[in-house]
Structure 1
Amino acid sequence: MKKTNTTENIDSLPQTLHSIGNENPFRVPENYFDTLRISIADKISEKRETSPWIHFILKKEIFYTVSLCCVIAFFVIFFPIISTHYNDSKLSVSDYVIEEKYSSFDEDMLVAFLTENEEDKTSDNDYLMDYLLHNDTDINLIMEELK
């Protein structure tokens, strides 16, 4: 059913186009197309009278060059400042540790710490010696190994 309607519409289409003929159904003022060319040329020439700087700035190569220079200038200006502040803060932390923590150490504390470590080592050695002696190990061999 639909094919018949579509076919009928297509068949009737050339008849409607044929019924229009070669005449233009729209009305146009007289001598309109004679002055149309001149008015279009005037409007185009008015648009072309823009500043040459705008065309220079809008070129892709100039735009890319200027943007690259801006990025480089940004890094040159701000990167050394950031790295300088980082190094200053790093030095101030080490100075703080040297001044504050080093002055809080007492000589007696250091001596006590070192003697504790020595006692631990000697007690470990004594424990090993006792173990080896109780397991029938040669004393001369032990002395050679400890040297």
Structure 2
Amino acid sequence: MSGPELWFDDDHTHAAAGVFLLTQDRRLVLQLRDDKPDIHYPGMITSFGGAAEPGETPEACALRELTEETGIRARAEQLERLGAVSKVDFRGHRTASVFFLLRGIDPAQLVITEGRAVVLSFSEAASDPRFTENCRRFSAEIAAMLRQ
């Protein structure tokens, strides 16, 4: 399921990581972003995550953002890499984004500091118009992976 190796390089001056959370009963826990015009994807549903700091690996970025946004303290070996995409962000920066899956999450244990958590079945996820393109894509890939 992994895509091309993308991160900081000659084409990508910025990088970010996102983490899809999966409950024991196979539901997604995602972030409903705050509806502020100065953030990426306001009012949309995304994975938890954010921008990488210089010198940070995709895994380190994902773990830091996950702790900051949810209170979860996971380890790199718990992250399953889903893939990477290249995009131009809302500020015009070419950004490499790497996405991960973390399983076994109890939504009641989350301490959300940005936006709010939404817990959705895969059928709900497939039809929710607030999903970003990458959130829709990787949610569908996770659903397919779980059916195997």
- What TM-score does the superposition give when structure 2 sets the normalisation length? 0.15
Higher relative contact order (CA 8 A, sep 6+): 2
Q: Which has the higher helix share?
A: 1
Larger Rg computed on CA atoms? 1
- What TM-score does the superposition give when structure 1 sets the normalisation length? 0.15
